[in-house]
Every structure is written in C-alpha cells, then in structure tokens.
Amino acid sequence: MTTLVLPDLRWFPGWAATVADFGGKNMHGSGDWNLDQPLEPTEESCHAFMAALAASAPGDPGGGKVPSTYYWITAEDGGPDDEVIGFLNLRHDLNDFLLEEGGHIGYSVRPARRRQGHASRALGLSVAAAGALGIDRVLLTCDTDNEASARTIEANGGVLEDVRKGKRRYWVTVPSSQRRSGARGGAAGGRP
C-alpha cells in the first residue's frame, strides 16, 4: 500500500531518513527549491520546511508561484507509525513554465524504496486529488532520459503530447468518477 499524507512532524524520522538517502540529490516534490537552505535530515530543517509551508498557504501563491499541495509519500496506510519514503507536489494551476516544462505534479521516491510500485501508486492518488480540485487533465513531464519516471507516468495512463526543451510532456485524463463537477481543463481556469 502507498498513501499520500500532508506533512506533519509525527513522520519526522522517515522524512529525515528519506532526505539522508537522497544525499543532496534533487528531491522532486519535496519543496527544497522553495527554501533558503537545502533540506537536511535534521529537526531544524524539517521545522524550516513546515514554516515555509505555513507561510505559503494555497491561495497565497506570491511571486508568480501557483498554489500547490505538498504531500509526503508513505509506505503503508498513513497512520502515525507509517514511514515517509518520498515526496509529491501537486500544483493547482499551470503557469507558463509549468505548461512547458514542469507539469502539475513533481515526485520522488527515496533510492532505498524504489521499484516497489510506490511512485506509480502515489501518482495515481495524486491524479485523483487533482480531480477533486477540479482539474480534468493532468500534465506530467520528465526528462527524455528518465525511463523510470516515463514508465511511472505511462503506468497511470499518460499520453505523450510532445517533447519540449528535453522534457517529455504527457497528459493524464482524470477519470470522470474522480472529477469534481465543473472541472476545468489543464491550463485554463482560475485558482481553486
């Protein structure tokens, strides 16, 4: 099983182990780009992330950023004893950069827990979350040489539109059963 949870300090041990496992490599979906200091596997760093999160609540994008939801990917049921094993960020809108290169969703799974289906399941859960926000088509992108990410997207029904600036651009249609009524298309519409 795989679950998306909203960040909470109760899952700090797994979060820290995940950050440590990346060893300074880019943690897509973790929010590290949004911070003054790179994320480190310490309580201080986790607190800094939580503070930045609280300061940029959805609906207050600021500085050209679109509202988004940060999730932590956990290995089991999302209970208090569950273990964080990755990150996922769901952008509620597409700005010019996201439409060309970034897409709606960024994600990563810690190296020690890869090839266990977690990214595929987490992506499926986030597509449903996008539908609940009123998004009916989700844009997903990956580097042309990122086979793991391409297969993760394709496993979730991604249809390749084109390649731009070294990125494969896929669209996933949110199943109607997961859509909020009055859903909007990929790049259109206002903020939720």
Q: Which residues bind ligand COA (CB under 6 A)?
A: 28, 107-109, 114-120, 142, 146-149, 151-152, 155
**Residue whose CB is less far from ligand COA, 11 or 87:** 87
Q: How far is the CB of 148 from ligand COA (least distance, A)?
A: 3
Specify the residue, 28 or 91, whose C-beta has the smaller distance to ligand COA.
28
Closest CB to ligand COA among residues 115, 162: 115
Q: Which is nearer to ligand COA, 131 or 158 (CB)?
A: 158
Q: Whole-number minimum distance, CB 29 to ligand COA, in Å?
A: 7
User: In this complex, which beta carbon is closest to ligand COA, that of residue 21 or of residue 40?
Assistant: 21
Least distance between ligand COA and beta carbon 2 (Å): 9
- Beta carbons within 8 Å of 36's beta carbon, 6+ residues apart: 48
Q: Answer whether 126's CB lies under 8 Å from 139's CB.
A: no
Smallest gap from Cβ 7 to ligand COA, in A, equals: 18
Tokens of 63: 């500085």
Buried/exposed code over 52-69 (b: 16+ C-beta within 10 A; e: otherwise): ebeebeeeebeeeebbbb
User: Could you tell me the CA-to-CA distances from 171 to 46, 127, 139, 168, 182 in Å, in that order?
Assistant: 33, 11, 5, 10, 19
CA distances from 116 to 75, 85, 127, 155, 156 (A): 10, 11, 19, 13, 15
CA 85 to chain centroid, in Å, comes to 13
Q: Rounded to the nearest whole angstrom, what is the least distance from the CB of residue 167 to ligand COA in the complex?
A: 8
